[in-house]
Amino acid sequence: MSRQRIVMKFGGTSVADTDRIKAVALRVKRETDAGHEVAVVVSAMAGVTNQLVAWTRAVATLHDAREYDAVVATGEQVTSGLLAIALQELGVPARSWFGWQIPVETDDAHGKARIRNIPTAELSRRMADGQVAVVAGFQGLGPDNRVTTLGRGGSDTSAVALAAALKADRCDIFTDVDGVYTTDPRIVAKARKLDKITYEEMLEMASLGAKVLQIRSVEMAMKHHVRLQVLSSFEDKPGTLVVDEDEIVEHEVVSGITYSRDEAKITLQRVPDRPGVAAAIFGPLADASINVDMIVQNVSEGGGTTDLTFTVTKGDLDRAMKVLGDRRGELNYKALVPDANVVKVSVIGMGMRSHAGVAQRMFKALSEKGINIQVISTSEIKVSVLIAEEYAELAVRSLHTAYGLDAA
């Protein structure tokens, strides 16, 4: 095979200890032995980022996001240095690169920064000389000349952005499962591995809770046509290829099921039912940078008032309650009721565009299990419902069976 340029990304469990890091070095060496140019992107060792985040919160619950980044970016720095050492031990030329050294240029949204540009001249030159670039994932350099991080799971995005910038032939995401499954294989034993999934479906799955790839990494792969693959760092077998729609001949009606526990519901009871009410509620939330996801408004029953329910992330619940609580006089609702005990379950599939009855099958399967649906939302290729959190696993399993996705 001709010489290729490859970006390989290894997640937290894949670099969880020094033995795993040595195993990763051997895996990388296979590619350099084959004559390929390689850049590796690493995550922090499993659990390390959680610990770092916990420390920042223990010192102060509300803190300077720039210092949060200074702390949480360190996990990746350790693994990039260790992997460079492990490669050198195997006789493979390698060096570590922190975000600021390349630099991975981002905006200044500390804690959730977006990559703007990655200059690659120096990396390319060294890679062409046979040196492996071991890049600390998840981190960048802001316009304020400070370290930034890309949001949880952000090393995936570092890898895809680097692959796009380097015009790599492939971007391989090595993780602790051997590909993208019809649903989280840790919850549903009968989940099936997909050989291929479209960018669109993968994007919906990532957005709706499947954390196997960070959402932005999929967006970026789609935009820049990066050949993206998810595969196991523990086993040597084919993974899942993320592809354009026309590379899949026959679409399943439903290709995946996801759940997200990061949801909270707020109900405003008996708000006056008149023009401008929704704007008065959602305007201040938007001003406070609180994203609202699902919304339902009940039909008013003659009394001139209505109930309005919507969802936000769990992390935004307290702030959203405060924003609306402060405006009680103006909004004139009877009660403001929070509920963090909810989960969003979604079914996703390109085939939905041409098949009727997909949502109905979902509602029927849930009703057969006695699961009450609180809120529904749909788009062209997905249907989501909000249900009580204790039913999450039962719902995902039942839907997996109902749509015929169970592995034989």
Identify which of residues 46 and 323 has a Cβ nearer to Mg ion in the complex.
46
d(CA 169, CA 123): 16
Identify which of residues 41 and 132 has a Cβ nearer to ligand ASP in the complex.
41
Identify which of residues 126 and 397 has a Cβ nearer to ligand ADP in the complex.
397
Both tokens assigned to 103? 């630099």
In the complex, the smallest distance separating the C-beta of residue 96 from ligand ASP, rounded to whole angstroms, is: 16
**Contact pick of 153, 179, 209, 256 for Mg ion (by CB under 5 A):** 153
Residues near ligand ADP, by CB under 6 A: 11-14, 43, 153, 175-177, 180-181, 183-186, 210-212, 256
In the complex, the smallest distance separating the C-beta of residue 257 from ligand ASP, rounded to whole angstroms, is: 23
Which of positions 133-162 make contact with ligand ASP (CB under 6 A)? Answer: 137-138, 152-156
210 touches which of Mg ion, ligand ADP, ligand ASP, none (CB within 5 to 8 A by kind)? ligand ADP
In the complex, the smallest distance separating the C-beta of residue 282 from ligand ADP, rounded to whole angstroms, is: 30
Q: Which residue has the tokens 């526990």?
A: 261
d(CA 187, CA 393): 7
d(CA 273, CA 299): 9
- Per DSSP, 153 falls in state T
Which of positions 4-23 make contact with Mg ion (CB under 5 A)? Answer: 11
Both tokens assigned to 170? 């492939």
Identify which of residues 180 and 386 has a Cβ nearer to ligand ADP in the complex.
180
Spatial contact of 240 and 180, defined as CB atoms under 8 Å apart: yes
Identify which of residues 67 and 176 has a Cβ nearer to Mg ion in the complex.
176
Q: Which CA distances in Å does 165 have to 152, 160, 216? A: 22, 9, 15
Q: Which CA distances in Å does 378 have to 294, 322, 352, 358, 386? A: 9, 29, 11, 11, 12
Identify which of residues 177 and 358 has a Cβ nearer to Mg ion in the complex.
177
5 touches which of Mg ion, ligand ASP, ligand ADP, none (CB within 5 to 8 A by kind)? none
Which of positions 109-138 make contact with ligand ASP (CB under 6 A)? Answer: 137-138
**Contact pick of 13, 14, 32, 43 for ligand ASP (by CB under 6 A):** 43
Interface with ligand ASP includes 14 (CB under 6 A)? no
C-beta contacts of 202-208 below 8 A and 24+ residues apart = 202/242, 204/256, 204/346, 204/348, 204/379, 204/381, 204/382, 205/180, 205/256, 205/258, 205/348, 208/258, 208/260, 208/344, 208/346, 208/348, 208/382, 208/384
| Nearest of 129, 169, 351 to residue 251 by alpha carbon | 351
Identify which of residues 137 and 179 has a Cβ nearer to ligand ASP in the complex.
137
In the complex, the smallest distance separating the C-beta of residue 332 from ligand ADP, rounded to whole angstroms, is: 42
Residues at the contact surface with ligand ASP, assessed by CB under 6 A? 11-12, 43-44, 49, 75, 137-138, 152-156
